[in-house]
């Protein structure tokens, strides 16, 4: 079971999508050749709120137990949650790849999500976070083809549910997290992590 980072302690975060591309510039003409290798993943910098006493030591123990880049943890980004959502969409059809996904289970003739909203697919170590690049517009059967980033790494199974209310991502620390201890037994942590692929 993958441990989950305590959300109540997140004070600020930075999230960005990284893509495996290489740019080569000609020294003679200045033209650029872009090579897209297809890899995409999320990277985070997470600043935890100041904690004190036992709470600070518990968070320190959680981060230490990860063992730096060895460990993985589940992160439910608080900035993308939709806790009031009762949507229950799912993948409609197998063998889908790329940045498009046919889904069903939406309300008919609606726009339940907008470009910029997030969803996640999978469970445990296979949990992947995706961001919509176009509004979700449904037909009379409650079906919609989603456009999103990053692209699918593996084809989801037909019927796989999409997590809308509390999308998650599996992260791995990029380095051990130092414990900064201040006056009155106060603790501060800032961690850098990337999607664990």
pLDDT at 148: 97
Q: Looking at the predicted structure, is the pLDDT value of residue 186 above 90?
A: no
Instruction: Please enumerate, as own/partner, the contacts of 57-64 that have beta carbons within 8 Å and a separation of 24 or more.
Output: 57/187, 59/6, 59/9, 59/187, 59/189, 60/179, 60/187, 60/189, 62/3, 62/5, 62/6, 63/173, 63/177, 63/179, 63/189, 63/191, 64/176, 64/177, 64/179
pLDDT at 183: 80
* pLDDT: which is higher, 35 or 79: 79
34-67: pLDDT as tens digits: 888 878 999 999 999 888 888 888 888 899 999 8
Give the phi and the psi of residue 58 in degrees, each rounded to 5: -65, -45
């Amino acid at each position: 079971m993958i441990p989950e980072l305590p959300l109540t302690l997140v004070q600020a975060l930075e999230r960005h999508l990284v893509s495996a591309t290489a740019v080569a510039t000609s020294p003679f003409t200045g033209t650029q050749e872009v090579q897209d290798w297809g890899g995409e993943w999320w990277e985070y910098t997470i600043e935890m709120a100041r904690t004190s006493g036992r709470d600070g030591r518990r968070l320190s123990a959680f981060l230490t137990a990860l063992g730096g880049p060895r460990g993985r943890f589940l992160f439910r980004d608080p900035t993308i949650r939709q806790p009031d959502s009762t949507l229950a969409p799912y993948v409609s059809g197998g063998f889908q790849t790329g940045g498009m996904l046919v889904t069903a289970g939406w309300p008919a003739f609606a726009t339940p999500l907008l470009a910029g909203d997030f969803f996640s697919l999978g469970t445990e170590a296979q949990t992947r976070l995706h961001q919509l690049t176009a509004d979700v517009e449904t037909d009379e059967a409650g079906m919609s083809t989603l456009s999103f980033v990053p692209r699918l790494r593996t084809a989801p199974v037909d019927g796989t549910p999409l997590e809308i209310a509390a999308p998650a991502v599996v992260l791995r620390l990029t380095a051990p997290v130092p414990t900064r201890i201040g006056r009155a037994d106060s603790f501060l942590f800032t961690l850098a992590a990337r999607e664990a692929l």
